[in-house]
Structure 1
Amino acid sequence: MRPTSGTLVEVDDLRVTFGGEVDAVRGVSFALRAGESMAIVGESGSGKSTVALCLLGLIQPPEASGSVRVAGHELLGADEATLRDVRWSTAAIALQGTPFNPVATVGAQVAEPLRDRRSMSRSEANRQAASLAEEVALDPALLARYPHQLSGGERRRASLAMVLALDPQLVVLDEPTAGLDTVTRRDVVARIRDLAARRGFALVVISHDLPDAAQLAERLLVLYAGEAMEVGETGRVLGEPAHPYSWALVGAYPVMSTTKDLRPIRGQPPDPRTVPPGCPFHPRCTQAEAVCSESRPILVASRGRAVACHFGGLKELLRATGIAKSFGRGADAVQALDGVSLVVREGESVGLIGPSGSGKSTLAAILAGHLAPDDGRVMLGDAELPASWRGGGHKALRRQIQLVMQDPADALSPRLTVRQLVREPLDIDGQLDPAARDRAVASMLEAVGLPGAGSFLDARTHELSGGQLQRIALARALVVRPKLLVADEPTAMLDASEQARLLTVLRERQIEMGLGLVLVSHDMAVVRKVVDRIVVLDRGRVVEEGPSQQVAVTPGSATARLLVAAAPAFAAIPDAAAADPFLAGVPNPNIHP
């Protein structure tokens, strides 16, 4: 095993432009010590594979600029002799898709570097190739076959054997598990980890597969539009992502621990020909401000890693601290909330769950500014919510936070038409002209799955179903484009179909508009499908808080365990004949003797 001291790879301000207009990589810098491992992750087109090719000097000036040094050798602008000395023996790469020569046997291709660089005889190279095959868990008999005669997993192992042929100090693997079934992927990952530990080579993994990256690399570099967004220890970056893009990327990935529905990243990655100015992620970011489009952030130390964000990473959208509220006086006083604290980050969804009387709705009203706490305070960004909205001096702040109540009848006047109900907040706000208000009403009604034109706009509440009324209440809350939505039991009065429809609409609007969401419910089955994090209340106090998959699957508090046990579930379906004696002896047409 090699020593693990000294810097092996140094990449400084690497830039790659194809055709004079496609900016594939834009100022990436990092270093890797001998024996260390790093994964580079990001969406397709982020520049991951381009960085990998530069690590072997496979892209040269004028397309590439900056510096790429491997084992002290500068690869950008290097002559052919230097590149030949470095490739295979110092640094080797397994390209995405294992591109073998289709007219040569796999064994001949694994042995080729040995014959070419070590001057081995054919028989000696073949013996070494067989030994390499065994090391990567590939049957040596398969070396006599052509690439098309091997499975995807076998080709990946053969490619790995070829990469290790000259025992390089640096191994670069571009999408080593892409396209493999889950069992084969697990085996390939385990083999790579074992080889890295035994041989001691430094490892750079290019991947869009976050769980594989987590298993293979100690450090993680998150790439977006050719720029590094976040760099840090892998467990920390994936477990508590700081950059808004990293957080969105982790939220979009399905794993077995996921309980909530997948959340795609809103918007589309930029065209590398026209990357937006400033932070390239700002058109898709929920917390973008003017500075984000005007100035490009650089990587700076924040939260135990390096983050390229003007705000140091995800901002807090709302923070409630030490909230207390009681009703009544003296001996009849009821303590509804007692020292409750809560944080909602930009774009995050948080579930408030607890049994009846736990203080959920009281806390929801306080968070929305509809009820003043007896003690504690609520901060929306940098502004403290006032004890009262009266006087009109906080109109801009009030627009930022909206409440959807449990019963739409409490929020919707029977005297107003649908158009008037949804338009009323805009009329109060007074910022748009009448025509723009009508357009906003039509657009938001369509966004929640209701007609935006025709006679529906003139209907009144008694003419509509409960599901339609709740979606109108949602449209009314969203039409002013708030930053935070507080939804208090929004599905409690709906049937299962309407509940599913409303939750789907709510989730889609949250992603599209970049909303923070506080969802109040007593139903764990509903909450776990929608939110990122769950806060459990009981008797006015927080008794548990954590990621949705943790609280919903392995609850730590007695209250959460009770709520999980009480959540709706279908009973297991027994054998029909055993369950119903009338079916005994009835032939099953699906079973053929």
Structure 2
Amino acid sequence: MIRVDHLCLWHGPRTIFRDVSFEVPKGQTLALLGASGSGKTSLARLLLGVLPGRHVKTADQNGDGFRWSGRAEVLGVDMLEAPLAEQRKLRRTDLSLIVQALSDALNPHQTVFQHVAELLPHSRRRTSLALALCKRFNIPERILHRYPATLSGGEIQRVLTALALARDPQVLILDEPTAALDHGNRALAVAALSAGQAQRSQLLITHDFDLAAQMADRMVILHDKQLVDRGPAVEMLMQPGGRAVVHRTRATTQRGIAPLVPGPEPLPTSPSGLVIQRLSHQQTGTLVLRDISAAVRPGRCLAIFGPSGGGKSTLARLLCGYERLQTGRILWRARDEAQPRICHPQELALVSQHPHRAMARHMSVRDVLSDAMRLCRRIGRAGHDVDIAGLMQRVDLPHSGAFLSRRAADLSGGEAQRLTIARALVSRPRCMIADEPTASLDSDTRDTILKLFRRLMAQEQLALIVFTHDPKVAEALGHDIRFLSEGQLRLSPSGVAA
């Protein structure tokens, strides 16, 4: 079981949360809900014993780094004060974590099959048992011999789920376990996580009320640095006139952003902007993209919508030059009907799904932007007149000295994502590539980022290609919505948001 008593956490002078207490007995799932930046993941890292810092007896708001007080027990072991050897033993046997689709949670030098097989004892049946385990957790055969760098977010999520559940842990911590998954794979993941649920304690960390309703027995709400509400999930989510905080939060998260309804616009035969011509790509002998052709004009967005494993992340990496083109061309046409030229990868900028992993954690906000400016000047993509204050204003971030001095690791999810957008703008890109840019964010923060993309398109005539499995994101940004499945790009099916 999990037992947390009067847990407090500080970072430098800042209180992250205080006086947090809850229990998760065997056979139950507790959903911990809260907005991005509320401290949910830090709490999970405390329970795992992997948050760097020190234990203090009383409130210490003048120290450096992370400090904590209280107790955080997992199966009777206080993970805040137990010896490292005891913590490691617990993590190897009875305590597992499923994080949100992070490729760096996997060994980059091992294939998917090697990751799964090393969990099993050496025997003549090891290969067949590993294959059965992959099938059980919906890992397709086509990715078994691929490396993490070539997997989509949804494929990584399925691998992480299999690795966490393979040893039947007694305690399972789930940190946004389905955010990277499309609707079909999400249902399969929920089914896998529900199997054996009665034999373990589960802490579900999420900002997704629908997922909490599907999986949780009880819920607690982390808001304004403390637990503000708790109770049975059914009562808190279903009953009319139920808990005020939950209903206020639900109303906020369901407000959303209105779909983009572009006006009719006759396009020339050869429009200006980014042009993708007959792009195909193979991985480990398998054709993952087939004859992809598309175009996006300045000031407009091409939304590429589709399920996990359909080729979205591979196409995003090819466009940005992170993988070598095998077949096809990526061009830029300066004006309508003009002759296109080869588009250099430096003219495109990537905004990733996991902004904290896209920046050095120890660097300050100012250092992140200054480093990008130095690199861009070296390759001739930015002049010496880039104004940091103006750049911050363009992405709705403070430009005070205190904020510019904050470490990237200490930013909320929304702040970190806006900083990655600001960093991308340093190079004055012609086109921005956004790969699942809102999947890790709560609904309010997601809408803020979507509105920012809309404004950048309108005011700066920036071309945008957004890859997503979320139909709301596709409809909110896409002037042109295409469906990518099994490596082929098609016109979007009707009723994409259904």
TM-score range, shorter chain: 0.3 to 0.5
Q: Which protein has greater RCO, CA pairs closer than 8 Å, 6+ apart?
A: 2
- Structure with the greater alpha carbon radius of gyration: 1
Normalised to the residue count of structure 2, the TM-score between the two structures is 0.45
Normalised to the residue count of structure 1, the TM-score between the two structures is 0.38
